[in-house]
Amino acid sequence: MDISLSQIPFNWTEKAITDFYKEMAHLPLGTIYIGDTVCSKREATISTKQWLTIAEELQAKGKLVIFSTLGMIETNPELSQLAKTCTETPFMLEANDISSVNILSRLDKEFACGPGINIYNHNTLNILQQKGMVRWTPPVELSIEAIADIRNAAKNTNLEIELFAFGYLPLAISARCYSARQEGLDKEHCGNICNKTPFGYCVDTTDGKDFLRINGTQTMSAAIHNALNGWKAAEAAGINSLRISPANTDMKSVIEQTYSMLSGNIDSVEIELDPRERFCDGFAFNRAGIE
Amino acid sequence: MELVCPAGNFPALKAAIDNGADSVYLGFKDETNARHFPGLNFSAKNISKAIDYARAKDAKVLVAINTFPQPEKWQKWADAVDLAADSGVDAIIVADIGVLDYALNKHPQLTRHLSVQASASNIESLNFYIDNFGIKRAVVPRVLTLEQITKICSETLIDIEIFGFGSLCVMAEGRCMLSSYATGESPNTYGACSPANHVNWQEKDDKLECRLNDILLDSYSKDENAAYPTPCKGRYQVNGETSYAFETPISLNTIDILDQLIATGAKALKIEGRQRSPAYVAKVTRAWRMALDAAKKPDYCAPESATSELKSITEGVNSTIGPYKKEWR
């Protein structure tokens, strides 16, 4: 079982991003996803060219680098940028919108499919494998058991499967920017306001329970999904990697402990959270995600 | 522009066709469609009755098989496609790649539309479904502006269908798991958002509280209209302030900009609401028939009677033209 680091879901500052990857480069991670999947306006924070520099540095440290692409493509400039990224990037790409699948298969490139691609059964999986998919992170609402069912029914199991095992769950994407809305702005005139909130905005119910999390056009879980300790079930299901997504906790410790657990040195990962944070793991085990 | 109206059951189908729908769309009685609600939808027996009625009145029947099967239940979706083909429906509306592939190979002559649940929001995505599965029409997600729809229509030869009226999903359709995060069941996995068995209404201190699997979505005072509780339209606290953080309980109504919708080049207009009553479907269809007829003449202005008819059924719920206008974002 490998450990992969999911792309940073939030709009961090350029310095926060580069500092983060400097630290991650030394950790026992096989695969690191970079790039942004939420909003094309975040290119103002860090350009594709800067991402490529980060990618090269990580690759030099022996990491497999995968470039994640946008979760929803609406405008023609976004589409042109996507086509350029797919054509020119010397790293594997992760498709999160079917447009990327179309471009990458036309270019005859192998690619990864992220949780934004709706693969819920073996037949869809087979077709996307024929198109060039070699790595797959299933939709986050699929349980370990459901992933095993799909894998068992698949024609070709020569596929790296990752479980979204740690982090805020990406639950929805919209054309509307809720971070801008929070600040009384609209998406067109947002001024990249989402860079003011490194972990988004918590959305609580009016009786004071945490529920969701606003991250620009993306809606996430308020709680940190943590299925790390279910790794043996994941391994039995044919899953090859635990995908860990940056959250408001000590990520270095999360990754090091996960590595120790997978190496048999400790039994479980025990993370102390900030009092405002909470864990959930329902999706991994056939329950409501919030549980 | 083709008027595509919802038919949750046979009386609603009659209501839609009798009041001027060019097409009706419906689903079968299981989770193969995204309105899997108790008491709704069509069995194998009454689908032929529905088709006979539609044929006699020169209307088309489109069948939504637009959820995402998992391996264990795959056969249900295959059966739904077979039933639609054998019944002679005019088209199926599909979201899942595997189901599209099955339909293409097993029933190549059956017309395939791409469901809004596939969330194809750009020309590359549409081309994926056109080139691989020969779709003849795509319902585009309710996230696009008029400008973006116009562009898409100019870049493709297939028909584009857009939403004109009814509930408004504020998240890209088929890409939203808020319902399963709260309840374990989502449109993708179960065929319904906020399934009714998870919804609980309770009076508390002069307020009407609405919970979804015990999560408080909203609390209405006496003078407020309660809406069906979807997580995207709840009232929440963000930074200590209470507000509708995503969207108010608002619905889509584009009657005032119908001429602009037509000008995009879209070929069909969809009315949401398979969960609605036949009386509702009759009124909405009548209003939109009037509006579409009015729009055939120059200098369109929404007919007064159509506007008031729509107002009478939305019962004080506010309406919006939503993402069609940039500022909504």
What percent of chain A lies above the pLDDT cut of 90?
98
Global pTM? 0.97
Mean residue pLDDT across chain B = 95
* Residues of chain B numbered 167-226 and touching chain A (CB < 8 Å): 170-172, 174-178, 180-184, 186, 188-189, 213, 215-217, 219
Residues from chain B contacting residue A287 (CB–CB below 8 Å): 184
Q: Which two tokens stand for residue B306?
A: 């159509």
By residue count, chain A amounts to 291
Q: Which two tokens stand for residue B271?
A: 């009315």
Torsion of CA B108, B110, B113, B117, to 10 degrees: -90
Please check whether residue B159 touches A, CB under 8 A: no
Residue of chain A whose alpha carbon sits nearest to that of B150: A75
Query: Span A238-256, mean pLDDT?
Result: 98
What percent of chain A lies above the pLDDT cut of 70?
100
CA separation for the pair A289, A142 (Å, rounded): 10
pLDDT tens per residue across span B260-276: 999 999 999 999 999 99
Give which of B177, B179, B204 to mutate to test A binding, by max A Cβ within 10 Å: B177
**Among A136, A65, A73, which Cα is nearest to A127's?**
A136
Among B102, B236, B326, beta carbon nearest to A206: B236
Which burial class, exposed, middle or buried, applies to A30 when counting CB atoms under 10 A from its CB (0-12, 13-18, 19+)? middle
Specify the amino acid at residue B310.
L
Contact A120 B120 (CB under 8 A): no
Half-sphere CA count of B152, side-chain side, radius 13 A: 31
CA separation for the pair A104, A93 (Å, rounded): 8
Among B96, B148, B177, beta carbon nearest to A172: B177
Query: Span B28-54, mean pLDDT?
Result: 93
pLDDT for res B328? 86
The values of phi and psi at residue B14, to 5°, are: -60, -45
In angstroms, the separation between the Cα of residue A105 and the nearest Cα of chain B is 10
Contact B257, B324 (CB under 8 A): yes
Contact A79 B122 (CB under 8 A): yes
CB pairs under 8 A between A and B: 219
Least confident span in A70-74, A199-203, B115-119, B309-313: B309-313
From the CB of residue B259, how many other CB atoms can be counted at a distance below 10 Å?
15
Q: What does DSSP say about strands A133-136 and A160-173: parallel, antiparallel, or unpaired?
A: parallel
In angstroms, the separation between the Cα of residue A59 and the nearest Cα of chain B is 30
pLDDT for res B315? 65
Contact A161, A151 (CB under 8 A): yes
pLDDT tens per residue across span A36-90: 999 999 999 998 889 999 999 999 999 999 999 999 999 999 999 999 999 999 9
pLDDT tens per residue across span A107-155: 999 999 999 999 999 999 999 999 999 999 999 999 999 999 999 999 9
Query: Span B83-90, mean pLDDT?
Result: 98
CA separation for the pair B79, B288 (Å, rounded): 34
ipTM, two decimals, is 0.97
Q: Which two tokens stand for residue A275?
A: 């009092």
pLDDT for res A251? 98
Specify the amino acid at residue A211.
F
The CA–CA distances, whole Å, from B266 to A116, A273, B20, B114 equal 27, 51, 19, 14
pLDDT for res A189? 92
Contact A168, A224 (CB under 8 A): yes
Give chain B's radius of gyration (CA, Å): 19
Which burial class, exposed, middle or buried, applies to B82 when counting CB atoms under 10 A from its CB (0-12, 13-18, 19+)? middle
Percent composition of chain A: helix, strand, coil (DSSP 3-state, to 5): 35, 20, 40
Torsion of CA A20, A23, A27, A33, to 10 degrees: 30
